[in-house]
């Protein structure tokens, strides 16, 4: 994948994509706001969610061992996977042991992260997505562009054509007279998937939460496909990120209020499925749980970045992000797009090795809306700035850059009141110099909102810096001088600033 700026440039040229994204994100964010406003103590609920997650992360090793013991006591088989390759190998081995050539899947970010479908396909095992949006993405040989609504970039007409063109290649075909009415599209998907649900012997899921105290795994969803996958097949394999652990069953009370409101704008999810190991005669009789690290312990070791492990994959940050709304998810080049992807991917993979990953912390205006809506108070702007510093440090080659020299000079200047005073006086001279330069060949003036003059494009090496930035022209009079001359602004005729 190209770095974010190049990918975003391509996405911005797609007017249909931008229209689809704007409509979808505004609809979801408006629904979210209405149901959030119904909760009087929403901020207290957010704080509690963040505290529970932080307490869990502080004792993650203990809670994971408790979870393993609870699951094992209830008949589940627990596997530990250090990375994507180990996790995929475990799932493939279980499927192969049961002699199947296909599995049905519940929507799972963890399995997308480890590219499980591709790994199973290499073993001759087809993985069928059963979530409607994931089905659209899979049939269209596409990539998901949203955590919650993977086909958010597709409109009804495009979905109809995908069904007509590709459903027959993987099972029951779409009706020849299929229209783009949502009811008909959902009906075609239901018939296509039903035969897969009834035939599959092995299912694969993720989990929204894993309760250490009781060994209970939880999946929340809206379509009922998850319930079908979790109950009909004989074997269930759940791939669970180690950060999904909750210490106590009572903790679900907080998160089952935060998650649906923040994700789909609903008071509660239509389907909340919980299972604890095996129940004889009811549901899968063989349950495997793969506890996935894949970089999470590295994130945990990062004092600033570890707050990203609070994430409950609600995607509220995507729906309010001005950058995501205009570029969509594909520009991020990962299954985790938007603001949370801009921090999670570099944290999981590390920086300094891949230009595409290194570009993600810069895919933000730092407006802070993502932090305001995050149900577990992840300070995404803080982590973005932290990661930008890490990216810069990772690319140092021993010689100071122009920016390094500028920052050091600024530090020296600001550290001494005498030097700062001289600089302020010099700014008035700079005003006159810049005013004189404006209009010379290669120097073009700009105006900022409100009419204040800005330094335009500078010639030579300064062009790279000034092309994308508006620096106000230094005022002729410093603030202190203006304050003295005008008696704190009471006599504006005595002095002026420009």
Q: Per-residue pLDDT tens for 15-28?
A: 888 888 898 899 99
pLDDT classification of 476: cutoffs 50, 70, 90: confident
pLDDT classification of 487: cutoffs 50, 70, 90: confident
pLDDT surpasses 60 at 56:
yes
| pLDDT of 406 | 83
Q: Rounded to whole angstroms, how far apart are CA atoms 125 and 102? A: 5
Q: How much is the average pLDDT of 80-93?
A: 98
Q: Rounded to whole angstroms, how far apart are CA atoms 180 and 347? A: 41
Q: Rounded to whole angstroms, how far apart are CA atoms 316 and 340? A: 10
| pLDDT of 431 | 72
Q: How much is the average pLDDT of 419-436?
A: 78
Q: How much is the average pLDDT of 348-359?
A: 96
Q: Rounded to whole angstroms, how far apart are CA atoms 156 and 448? A: 42
Q: CA 38 → CA 42, 50, 204, 253, distances in Å? A: 9, 20, 36, 17
What is the residue-wise DSSP string for 375-386? TT---HHHHHHH
| pLDDT of 485 | 85
Q: How much is the average pLDDT of 213-221?
A: 97
Q: How many residues in total does the chain contain? A: 498
pLDDT surpasses 50 at 40:
yes
Which has more confidence, 16 or 79?
79
pLDDT classification of 470: cutoffs 50, 70, 90: confident
Average pLDDT of the chain, as a whole number: 91
| pLDDT of 438 | 59
Residues 304 and 384 sit within 8 Å (Cβ to Cβ): no
Of residues 377, 381, 379, 390, the one with CA closest to residue 347: 390
| pLDDT of 491 | 79
pLDDT surpasses 90 at 144:
no
pLDDT surpasses 70 at 443:
no
| pLDDT of 480 | 82
Lowest mean pLDDT among 161-175, 290-304, 358-372, 436-450: 436-450
pLDDT surpasses 90 at 384:
yes
Q: Is 129 helix (H, G, I), strand (E, B) or coil?
A: strand
What is the residue-wise DSSP string for 290-359? EEE-TTHHHHHT-TTGGGGGG-----HHHHH-HHHHHH-SGGGTSSS-HHHHHHHHHHHH-SSS-HHHHH
Of residues 45, 2, 4, 25, the one with CA closest to residue 384: 4
pLDDT classification of 440: cutoffs 50, 70, 90: low
pLDDT surpasses 50 at 125:
yes
Q: Rounded to whole angstroms, how far apart are CA atoms 460 and 466? A: 10
Rounded to two decimals, what is the model's pTM? 0.85
| pLDDT of 498 | 47
pLDDT surpasses 90 at 452:
no
pLDDT surpasses 70 at 495:
no
Q: How much is the average pLDDT of 243-261?
A: 98
pLDDT surpasses 50 at 51:
yes
pLDDT surpasses 60 at 444:
no
| pLDDT of 494 | 60
């Amino acid at each position: 994948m190209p770095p974010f700026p190049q990918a975003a440039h391509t996405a911005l040229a797609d007017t249909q994509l931008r229209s689809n994204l704007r409509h979808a994100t505004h609809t979801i964010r408006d629904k979210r706001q209405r149901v959030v406003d119904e909760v009087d103590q929403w901020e207290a609920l957010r704080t509690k969610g963040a505290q529970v997650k932080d307490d869990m992360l502080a004792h993650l090793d203990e809670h994971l061992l408790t979870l393993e013991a609870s699951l094992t006591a209830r008949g589940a088989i627990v596997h530990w996977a250090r990375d994507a390759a180990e996790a995929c190998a475990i799932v493939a081995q279980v499927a192969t042991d049961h002699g199947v050539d296909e599995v049905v899947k519940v929507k799972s970010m963890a399995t997308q992260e480890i590219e499980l479908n591709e790994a199973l396909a290499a073993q001759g095992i087809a993985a069928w997505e059963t979530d409607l949006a994931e089905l659209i993405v899979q049939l269209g040989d596409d990539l998901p562009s949203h955590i919650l609504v993977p086909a958010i970039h597709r409109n009804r007409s495009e979905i109809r054509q995908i069904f007509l063109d590709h459903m027959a290649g993987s099972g029951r075909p779409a009706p020849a007279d299929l229209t783009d009415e949502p009811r008909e599209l959902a009906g075609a998907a239901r018939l296509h998937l039903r035969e897969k649900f009834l035939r599959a012997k092995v299912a694969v899921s993720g989990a929204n939460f894993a309760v250490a105290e009781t060994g209970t795994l939880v999946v929340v969803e809206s379509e009922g496909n998850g319930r079908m996958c979790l109950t009909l097949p004989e074997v269930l394999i759940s791939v669970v990120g180690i950060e999904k652990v909750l210490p106590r069953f009572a903790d679900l009370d907080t998160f089952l209020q935060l998650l649906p409101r923040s994700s789909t704008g609903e008071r509660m999810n239509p389907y909340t499925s919980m299972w604890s190991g095996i129940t004889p005669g009811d549901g899968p009789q063989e349950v495997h749980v793969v506890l996935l690290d894949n970089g999470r312990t590295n994130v945990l070791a990062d004092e600033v970045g570890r707050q990203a492990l609070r994430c409950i994959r609600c995607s509220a940050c995507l729906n309010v992000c001005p950058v995501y709304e205009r570029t969509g998810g594909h520009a991020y080049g990962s299954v985790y797009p938007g603001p949370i992807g801009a921090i999670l991917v570099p944290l999981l993979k590390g920086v300094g090795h891949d230009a595409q990953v290194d570009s993600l912390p810069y895919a933000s205006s730092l407006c802070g809306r993502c932090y305001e809506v995050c149900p577990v108070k992840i300070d995404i702007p803080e982590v973005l700035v932290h990661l930008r510093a890490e990216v810069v440090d990772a690319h140092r080659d021993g010689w100071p850059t122009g920016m390094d020299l500028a920052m050091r000079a600024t530090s020296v200047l600001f550290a001494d009141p005498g030097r700062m005073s001289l600089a302020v006086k010099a700014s008035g001279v700079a005003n006159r110099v810049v005013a004189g330069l404006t209009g010379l060949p290669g120097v073009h003036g700009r105006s900022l909102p409100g009419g204040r003059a800005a330094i335009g494009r500078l010639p030579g090496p300064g062009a790279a810096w000034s092309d994308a930035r508006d620096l106000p022209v230094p005022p002729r009079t410093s603030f202190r001088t203006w304050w003295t001359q005008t008696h704190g602004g009471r006599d504006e005729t005595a002095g002026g600033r420009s």
